[in-house]
Amino acid sequence: MRFLLVDRIVDWQPGGPIRGLKNVAMSEDVLEYHFPGNPVMPGVLLLEAMVQLAGWLEAASSDFREWFVIDRVDRCAYYGYALPGDQVELEVTPLAGYADGRRGYSGTGLVAGRKKVVARFEGSLTPLAELEDPAVQRRLFETLTRARKQ
């Protein structure tokens, strides 16, 4: 993972749900062009932040053996903009009824208690070691959850 969109993992339980935060900073390069003179966080990046939370949940729940890779968005709706200075509260919950090796999730993103994005998505589980070094990802997870001493 190269483009980290989750700034903190607030709470998680093995098998879900997981909650995290995305801080929208004016210094993010993408805001310069989306939109010039009226910066807003691209909605697709809010969806990606939820997908990354699903990945962290799968990694932590599997002792960093697996990662979630999205391949389908069933539904995604936006209800407003996330602006520079906003903190987006994200929650992702696993859905039941998927075959082995497949997962589905529902996710929401709120700013100051107001809904900004809601999505349902699914994908497959992939060995984490094929994507990233599991030890590095474990340390990053510990940093994001504040389990690791800074």
Please name the residue that has the structure tokens 């968005």: 73
pLDDT surpasses 90 at 149: no
pLDDT value of residue 1 = 40
Is 149 designated active site?
A: no
**What pLDDT digit, counting tens, does each position of 68-112 carry?**
999 999 999 999 999 999 999 999 999 999 999 999 999 999 999
pLDDT value of residue 10 = 98
Instruction: Specify the CATH class of 8-140 in words.
Output: alpha beta
What's the longest Cα–Cα distance across the chain? 47
**What pLDDT digit, counting tens, does each position of 116-138 carry?**
999 999 999 999 999 999 999 99
Q: Cα separation of 69 and 14, whole Å?
A: 18
**What pLDDT digit, counting tens, does each position of 3-55 carry?**
899 999 999 999 989 999 999 999 998 998 898 899 999 999 999 999 999 99
Which among 8, 19, 34, 102 is annotated as catalytic? 34
The whole model's pTM is what? 0.95
Q: What value, to the nearest 5°, has the Cα angle with vertex 64 and ends 89 and 98? A: 70
Rounded-to-10 torsion of CA 74, 126, 64, 101: 70
